[in-house]
Amino acid sequence: MQQLQYLVKSFGVMLFLLAVAGCEGSPFGQSIEKTLEPDPRLLETTDTAASTPDTVATPEVADASDPTEEASGVEGAKPSNTAGSTTTEVPVIPEFTEASYVDIDEAPEELQQYLEDLVQLDLLLLIDVKADDNIERNPNEFLPNQVITRREYARWLLAANNQFYADQSAKKIRPAVESSQPTFQDVGVANIDFPAIQGLAEAGMIPSALNGTATAVKFRPDAPLTRQDLILWKVPLDKRSALPAATAAAVSEAWGFQDASKIEPIALPSVLADHSNGEFANIRRALGYTTLFQPDKAVTRAEAAAVLWRFGNSAEGITAAELLADDAGGDQKKEDKASGDTASGDTAAKDDAQKKKNAD
């Protein structure tokens, strides 16, 4: 029975289709075709739905290997400098701790006066708490027996030289300016001690490529200062002239050092020339009597201060104590002058008063 009903329905559909085909082109056929066409509004909705995913697409993550996007970090950030571009370093302004040290008496007794004089001249200032020694300390502690770094000594050396010769511009060392091309790979313009280190290099006071020392491409600012560098950098500022050639044998004969052969050839002339300063020799003032120079031994802050206490040769020189005396004398002269001006004013006033009284 069901099969018969299916056949009847199929036969009816076929008759309908034949009728429609027969009416093709007739008004009745066009009306039927128009009725069977899909609604265009439904097509637009279907197309839109097909082009829009059910969920919001996750933004595509930038390739981590893209250096420009990785350096930018945030949307709208400017891309980092590409190869061939230059980056301008911003110099760091140093912040010094106050020179009111309370532990100077911990230094060897023979060196305490040198420290006290230089501290009064504000020449041994330390940059903040950690920049020089990378250890925690009280800002008012000088730590005189602490090893001094190369950067710290360079800073003190330039400052001391320029203050000792404040009235002699021809003997002062010019600190480097921001536009100077850095000599050392590890001391850029932004380094706190760039003006001092670069200035000493440009003046030829420390070994660098500028004075023909091709191997001195790095300064190692935070490395300990050695005894041979202590003398190598200072003696040229005492002599103010070319140093004669020297050998280990000559240094051994002059000083009696048993380890003269361990001194670097570049430092031998300075060590030998220092001996000619007699009782004013830096080695004698800082180390006392010794038959072992120990050129690679680290220098303490107190020993470095002893070396900087005096500038000059055996015939003429100037000490920190003399600078302090001159400053005190200048202050006294100002006070005397002020007192004299006051006394003169009082005398003149009394004379005017007396003249007026006589006139009356």
- pLDDT of res. 84: 44
Minimal CA–CA distance to 144: which of 181, 187, 107, 93?
A: 107
Contact predicate 219/210, CB 8 Å: no
Minimal CA–CA distance to 156: which of 126, 186, 177?
A: 126
Residue 83 burial (C-beta neighbours within 10 Å; 0-12, 13-18, 19+) = exposed
- pLDDT of res. 23: 53
Query: Can you say how many angstroms the Cα of residue 71 is from the centroid of all Cα atoms in its chain?
Result: 23
Q: What pLDDT, in 10s, does the model give residues 305-344?
A: 999 999 999 999 999 999 999 987 655 555 555 566 655 5
Cα separation, 303 vs 282, in Å, equals 10
Confidence of residue 125 (pLDDT cuts 50, 70, 90): confident
**pLDDT greater at residue 78 or residue 27:** 27
Q: What pLDDT, in 10s, does the model give residues 208-263?
A: 999 999 899 999 999 999 999 999 999 999 999 999 999 999 999 999 999 999 99
Asked which of 61-65, 110-114, 175-179 is least confident by mean pLDDT, the reply is 61-65
CA angle 140, 299, 172 (to 5 degrees): 80
**pLDDT greater at residue 19 or residue 226:** 226
**DSSP bridge pairs for 224:** 149
Torsion from C-alpha of 200, 156, 217, 223, nearest 10 degrees: 170
The residue ranges of DSSP E strands in the chain, in sequence order, are 310-312, 317-319
The residue ranges of DSSP E strands in 50-133, in sequence order, are none
- pLDDT of res. 2: 56
- pLDDT of res. 272: 98
Contact predicate 118/320, CB 8 Å: yes
- pLDDT of res. 126: 77
Contact predicate 234/163, CB 8 Å: no
Confidence of residue 39 (pLDDT cuts 50, 70, 90): low
**pLDDT greater at residue 122 or residue 358:** 122
**Per-residue pLDDT for 93 more than 80?**
no
CA angle 282, 117, 277 (to 5 degrees): 20
pTM: 0.66
**Per-residue pLDDT for 134 more than 90?**
no
Count of C-beta atoms within a 10 Å radius of residue 1 = 5
Number of residues that this document lists for the chain: 360
**Per-residue pLDDT for 67 more than 50?**
no
Q: What pLDDT, in 10s, does the model give residues 260-270?
A: 999 999 999 99
Q: Which two tokens stand for residue 155?
A: 């800073």
3-state helix, strand, coil split of the chain in percent (to 5) is 50, 5, 45
**Per-residue pLDDT for 96 more than 80?**
no
Contact predicate 206/184, CB 8 Å: no
Minimal CA–CA distance to 251: which of 268, 227, 226, 231?
A: 268
Listed in sequence order, the residues at least 6 apart from 89 whose beta carbon sits closer than 8 Å to its beta carbon are 188, 189, 190
